[in-house]
Structure formats: structure tokens, C-alpha cells
Structure 1
């Protein structure tokens, strides 16, 4: 109990630091599909779009403002080349794409959103579930802080259009760096995952690297056991089950811990394999490198505060399995998630 209070008390200290930075050879290979081979990338400056082709194929790509409005009468571009191919979009808005190819068809959007004023902005669509379905693009987004978004960033988010924002930061974080919501946003929710007394950044600076790693592991256990935090994730899932609140964006300061657990629980509720869930979780290390590398160099013993490790998320998942038998049981019984409704809303 005493250790749990310490974990609770240190959450805001972490947030303050984060916010400061502004199969075998004998097995037959699985056949590649269009979803495996094709992806979309966008550049932050100018929002230029590229089709990335990772295997030889003949392809045609079509675009639209929504999946339902993709114009299939004329391709945006056709080709056989591999690599990174720029797409001739008419504007800098968010778009959805359909690729028809000799490897099959797939719907695409960019995984990493092209933000000049943000780092860890991601669409949680496109992931494959254990029963072969795909998470719909453009419905739920995970991000880091929103206080430095540019006019172009906000216009792009409005074109999604983002309707709801869930903010997991503390009241002090929100006050210090209030969100800049896109014009399309109609609902904002402050679900602050920062219970207990506060610990200053000076206290955190006394941690050794091993103590910091142990702290992060315990914090992820707390995310799924502390009743106050559970209630906030329960509210979060209620919003996710309300189609009128979509598309929805959720975030904290770095978009990796409080948001990382939220994203992992969301994907788990849809039946995405744990290996893929952990891969998504670890992408934060790639996208946050430019944001936190200077702080890691200054305080190397605090590196675990600025990065994610499989052991952190695994601690939370193992705790759910230990206490409830499975993550699915935890979602149903503790967070009161209607898994069937979630899958009807988010899977194709």
C-alpha cells in the first residue's frame, strides 16, 4: 500500500518532466497481402502524402475524404514501382485510400499523423485481429500533448474530423499547457490519471536507473489495479462505445504511459494479438526520440521515464491475467466493456 502511494504521488512529477521537453525455416512462409505490402506516409511540412510499396506488385490507388467517399471512378495513381511514391493530392487534408493490386485490395490511411507541433500522433486503425479482421482507420487516435499544434496541424485534424478529445493529464499539466483543439472538436473530457500527493521533479532526480525502471513497472500495475484510475479508463471506454463521440483522440503529455495503456486496452478489446499490441506500444520510442533525447543525455538515469519498454506494459497485462484470468475478463468485468459492441463499431 505504501509503495502504491509512492507510485501515485510520482505520476505528476513524471508528467512535469515529460511536458518540459515541449516461425522456423521448415514452416511455409505466410502469403503477403495488400495490407502487408502497402502503407501511407505523410510529411509534417506541407502534409505531402506517399504510398510506400514494400514488394513487387501492379497497383492502383484511389482517395477520398472518408472510406465511403473514396472515388473509385478514376485512380489517383497507378504503377508497378516499389519504394516511396508521392501521391498527387489536391490539398493537405486527411484522406483515406483504397489500393487495388495483384496482391488484393486494402483500405489505408497514415499511421503516423503529420504534425509539425506534435510527435507521437497515431491512428490506431489497420491492425489485424486474431480472427483476421482489421481495425477501421480514422476512428480512434493516440497522441502526445496538443499545446504546440500549428494552424496547419489543426486544419488537418479538423478534416478527419476529430470530434472528441480525452485528456489523461493532471490538472496542473492542463493548466500549464492547455490543449489547442481543432475547430471540429465538440467534446473535451479531462480524465486526469494523477491521484495522490505530488512529488517534485527534484525527487525524481534522486532515482537510479534501476529504481526508475522498477517505478515504471509498478506504475503500469497501478494503471489496472488502482480504483480511481480504473474508473477513469471505464469512463474512457464508455465514450469509445458512443458512436456520436467519434472520431476520438486521447492523449497525455508524452502519449506513451497513460495513453499507452489506454491504447493497449482498446486494441485488446478488439481482439488484436498481444504481439501487435506491444509493437504499437513500442512505436513511442521511435516517434518521441527527437522530443526527449536531450533530456536523456542530461539525466541518463531517468531514461525509462522518457521511453517505453515491453516490461512496463507486460507488468500491467500480467497483473490483469493474475487477478482476472485474462485481459478479456478484465475488460468485461472490471472496465464493463461491451466487447461485441466495440467490435461492431471498429472492425471490418
Structure 2
């Protein structure tokens, strides 16, 4: 799209449901909308503009809307990255990331999330409008039993794939809070996520499901959506050819989205902060472990996790 569009986001407020276009641009543009990319009405724009600004959008607030931005230099497909879940915090679409080859990850196909146990009826209606077909749950059986998922009626497939790297889950570290260097333990947990045989098997199963063309639109999640889910999201984006800096930025965004969920607890127990947030060193520890053991992330994906890169990119890139 040349230099006409510098940055553009769709932002939907989780409380008010108000939808806005946030755009940094030069020149004239038009915005079109629909309930899917295929159904976008390209005859009448819902908004036109010239240059940058934040613009309110008059769209249906109860279902997911997709957008196409048209400029003199081309078009760009858009949706909100952070989904407006009242009963969820770290709920995001993996669409819209530019790859090193200049393609984009597809919107509305792969979603990363924290626990789904507190979703409201409005949340479930919204997810049904996508419509979510599959849910992969990385939580241990004890976590699932304590806070079972609430799922939209469109879900046809559920996959419990417990990922429990030793006693280094958040719960395990929390139990040893006073005697543990938590940053060290969180880095160790991330190394185990990509090297501990049960974890590796779990991620191999995860990719087998993701590569099934009947699975998406798909949610994968754990409790906070930052460690197990964060590693899964990073590996997916690596497989699709997204650069490492962008992958890290997506990983670190959990810190922003989980602040509402955990800030009060962290204020009371500051020593526990590392359990409830993300740090660059955590994901980096896992990625560096992969590179030490296998030479490259791509070799790990293809040789260990049995990822079909061509198929992944056919399914999830524009």
C-alpha cells in the first residue's frame, strides 16, 4: 500500500461496544464493511476520509464485522485484533500480521485467548457470529474442572490438550512463591514448553488440528492466555513467516490486556508479578532453547512438530 497508510486499527470497546477506526494516513480513503470478507458491500462505503484520525463507525455491535479499506495505492482487510469480550481479557485475532514475504495472516481464522469460563451471553453471541468452530484447551484437568469453558453454540469440535510442564505451571510456581526466583522459573518453564517430551507431543497435536481445513475458525487458550497460549501463538506466527520482532510484540501485548485482570492482585502481592505478566526474556528463553537444540525454529516446526509449512500458509495467509 505504499506510504499512504502508516498505521490502521479497528478498535472495539469491550464495555460500550463502540467501534472506531484509528488511522494514520495520507490521502483519500474509503471504508467498506460486511459480516464476512466475502459479503462486504463494495458499492457503498460506510465511511470516507482524507488523512489521519479516529473515526466512530456505525456498525452492528452484537456481531463481528469485517472491513476493507480502499486507497489509491490498494486495499487492506481489517477487523479488531482485541475482541470485546466482557468475560475475557486476553482474547485476540491472529489476523492482519504482515509476513516477511509481504503477505498477511488471515483475519477471523485463529484466535488466542485466556479462560472462557466467564464469557457472557453477549460474548457467546459475538463468537457465534464468526462462527467459532473449534476450541483447543491447553489447561490441566484440575484447571478445567475448576473453571469449565463456556462455548458458543457454533462449536463442533473441542480438544483438551493439557500442557503441564512439570510443576512449573503458574499454580506450581505460586505455591513456592517465597522460596523461588520467579523470573528464573518462568524462563525454565518456557524452555520446558518446547523441549519436555509431553509438551512437544501436545504442540504436535495442536498443529495437526490447526492444519485440518475443517478446524478454523478456531480458539486456542489456557488460563491467562500468555504462557502456553503465548508459545503456541508464537510458533504459529513463525510457521506463517511473520518476523521475530512482530511475534515478540504480539507476545508482549498480553501485559496490556491482562492488566485489568491481575493488577489489583499484583499490587497486593508484588513479588508474584512475574507469574501474572509476560517479559521478553520468558519467550526468548524458549525460542533460544529451540535454536540451540534444532538450529532454527523452522527446523523445529517441520522436523519435530511435523508442521506442513506450505499447507499452513495456504490455509492462513491472504
Distance 1:252 1:60 in 2: 38
The root-mean-square deviation of aligned C-alpha atoms, in Å, is: 1.7
Question: Which residue pairs with 1:307 in the alignment?
Answer: 277
Mapped pair 1:328 → 2:288 = no
Q: What is the CA distance between 1:341 and its match in structure 2?
A: 0.5
Change (3 A) 1:207 1:303: farther
Question: Which residue pairs with 1:156 in the alignment?
Answer: 126
Distance 1:214 1:196 in 2: 15
Q: What is the CA distance between 1:69 and its match in structure 2?
A: 1.4
Kept after mapping to 2: 8 A contact 1:139/1:247: yes
**1:82 pairs with one of 52, 63, 77:** 52
Report how many residues are paired.
316
Question: Which residue pairs with 1:107 in the alignment?
Answer: 77
Q: Within 5 A, what are the aligned runs for 1:245-256?
A: 245-256=215-226
Distance 2:286 2:216 in 1: 27
Change (3 A) 1:314 1:195: closer
Change (3 A) 1:301 1:56: same
Structure 1 gap segments, 5+ residues each: 1-29
Distance 1:318 1:217 in 2: 11
Q: What is the CA distance between 1:194 and its match in structure 2?
A: 1.6
Change (3 A) 1:69 1:268: same
Please, which moves more after superposition, 132-141 or 103-112?
Answer: 103-112
Question: Which residue pairs with 2:177 in the alignment?
Answer: 205
Runs of 4+ residues over 4 Å off in structure 1: 195-202
Residue aligned with 2:195, SS: coil
Change (3 A) 1:134 1:171: same
Change (3 A) 1:333 1:73: same
Q: What is the CA distance between 1:240 and its match in structure 2?
A: 0.7
Residue aligned with 1:120, SS: coil
Structure with larger RCO (C-alpha < 8 A, sep 6+)? 1
Kept after mapping to 2: 8 A contact 1:58/1:102: yes
Q: TM-score, with normalisation over the residues of structure 2?
A: 0.95
Question: Which residue pairs with 2:23 in the alignment?
Answer: 53
Mapped pair 1:32 → 2:3 = yes
Distance 1:298 1:132 in 2: 45
Mapped pair 1:96 → 2:66 = yes
Kept after mapping to 1: 8 A contact 2:32/2:68: yes
Structure 2 gap segments, 5+ residues each: none
Residue aligned with 2:235, SS: helix
Distance 2:174 2:112 in 1: 29
**1:271 pairs with one of 206, 226, 241:** 241
Distance 1:32 1:166 in 2: 39
Distance 1:196 1:77 in 2: 52
Distance 1:107 1:200 in 2: 42
Q: What is the CA distance between 1:92 and its match in structure 2?
A: 2.1
Q: Within 5 A, what are the aligned runs for 1:1-348?
A: 32=3, 34=5, 36-80=6-50, 82-194=52-164, 196=166, 203-208=175-180, 211-348=181-318
